Structure 1
Amino acid sequence: MDYKEIALDIYEEITDTDEIREDLDLDLFDAGLIDSLAVINIILKIEEKLGVSLQPTDFEKEDIATINNFIKYLNNINENN
């Protein structure tokens, strides 16, 4: 699986912008592109694309704050399932 593309697809859909591709280390919370409500949608998209079941307590804010962190998180999910 290409977790980079999965991460970018999820975040483009959630943020409704492709600007996230420009800086994969941009803190999307600080930039105002995602917020606590977006986290629920991120969880739903992960479950849909990877076929796993997650809870909001299954990750830290830092795990999903940047695209690069999110890619690492998706890799970890795959390794643990």
Structure 2
Amino acid sequence: MDEIADIPRNLAVANPPSRFAICSVEDDGGDGFLLGWGIATTDRVHVYSVEDNMTGQLGSLNAIGYLFGEAHEIVWIDPRPEGLDGPG
């Protein structure tokens, strides 16, 4: 029975989501601020805004611009998932 339980555990350990922060980027070089947090896998991105309780499930990092605007930067806390589309 333990061998069956090991299959999902091994998949989870081999493919953990990666955490990241979404930070504003100021055009004038001023201090930015934290817009939100997210987790990503190779084919899905989940984001959570800090200010207005907005959440989203996206197909790529490119779609974050639709939610948070173009003036943002992705700051990875964990290694970026291989094969994930978009900047950052």
Q: Relative contact order (alpha carbons < 8 A, sep ≥ 6): 1 or 2 greater?
A: 1
TM-score by length of 1: 0.31
Indicate the structure (1 or 2) with the bigger Cα radius of gyration.
2
TM-score by length of 2: 0.29
More helix by share: 1
More strand by share: 2
